[in-house]
């Protein structure tokens, strides 16, 4: 009888140990699953951020500027802007065109009396010129 009680006690203890082990394994698997889900969320979020960044860069590089047609027309009419990159006034004139400046016929020319200097129809116009003035001189619409 004592042996029987001891056996039942051992069996009960083994069952409790098995239950504890089973519970630990379930907790471990649950934590593992949570970590995996968190990792997946981070990966998905990283991919989304990367795609947004690529889209913004592509838009910045390939979208047209506000004054593209105006700048192209000035170049077609033979207008040339001379200046120097270190000059704040040349930089200001460039900034007026923004992304569209790439269509302006621009040449760096040291030794100018005033910068920037525009040459339009063989006439010289010194200092920053407004779009209204450039439009009036060339017939280009801005």
Q: Above 60 in pLDDT, residue 6?
A: no
Supply the range of the domain harboring residue 11.
Answer: 1-63
**Start-to-end CA span in the chain (Å):** 107
- Distance (Å, whole) CA 118 – CA 79: 7
4 band by pLDDT with thresholds 50, 70 and 90: low
Task: Characterize 38-69 residue by residue with b for buried, 16 or more Cβ atoms within 10 angstroms of its Cβ, and e for exposed.
Answer: eeeeeeeeeeeeeeeeeeeeeeeeeeeeebbe
81/19 same-domain check: no
Question: How many whole angstroms from its chain centre is CA 94?
Answer: 22
User: Which is nearest to 67 in space by CA: 47, 48, 94, 107?
Assistant: 94
pLDDT computed for residue 9 by the predictor: 60
**What mean pLDDT value characterizes the chain?**
90
125 membership: H or E segment, kind and range: strand 123-126
Look at residues 63, 81, 103 and tell me which one is the last residue of a structural domain. 63
- Phi, psi at residue 27, to the nearest 5°? -65, -40
57/74 same-domain check: no
Look at residues 63, 93, 116 and tell me which one is the last residue of a structural domain. 63
Give the pLDDT mean for 42-68. Answer: 93
pLDDT computed for residue 102 by the predictor: 96
Span 60-104, pLDDT tens digits: 888 899 999 999 999 999 999 999 999 999 999 999 999 999 999
- Of the candidate ranges 16-20, 27-31, 48-52, 125-129, the one whose mean pLDDT is the lowest: 16-20
73/44 same-domain check: no
- Phi, psi at residue 10, to the nearest 5°? -65, -45
Lookup result for tokens 């001379």: 82
* Residue 71 near residue 132 (C-beta atoms within 8 A): no
pLDDT computed for residue 128 by the predictor: 98
121 versus 27: which is more confidently predicted? 121
56/75 same-domain check: no
Q: Above 60 in pLDDT, residue 137?
A: yes
Number of domains in the chain: 2
- Distance (Å, whole) CA 93 – CA 77: 18
């Amino acid at each position: 009888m004592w042996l029987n009680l001891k056996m039942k006690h051992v069996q009960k203890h083994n069952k409790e140990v098995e239950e504890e082990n089973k519970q630990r394994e379930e907790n471990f698997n649950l934590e593992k699953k949570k970590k995996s889900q968190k990792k997946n969320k981070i990966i998905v979020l990283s991919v989304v951020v990367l795609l947004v960044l690529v889209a913004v860069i592509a838009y910045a590089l390939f979208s047209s500027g506000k004054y593209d047609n105006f700048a192209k027309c000035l170049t077609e009419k033979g207008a040339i802007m001379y200046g120097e990159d270190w000059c704040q006034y040349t930089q200001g004139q460039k900034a007026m065109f923004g992304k569209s400046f790439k269509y302006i016929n621009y040449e760096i020319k040291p030794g100018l009396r005033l910068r920037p200097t525009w040459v339009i129809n063989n006439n010289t116009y010194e200092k920053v010129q407004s779009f209204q003035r450039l439009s009036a001189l060339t017939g280009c619409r801005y």
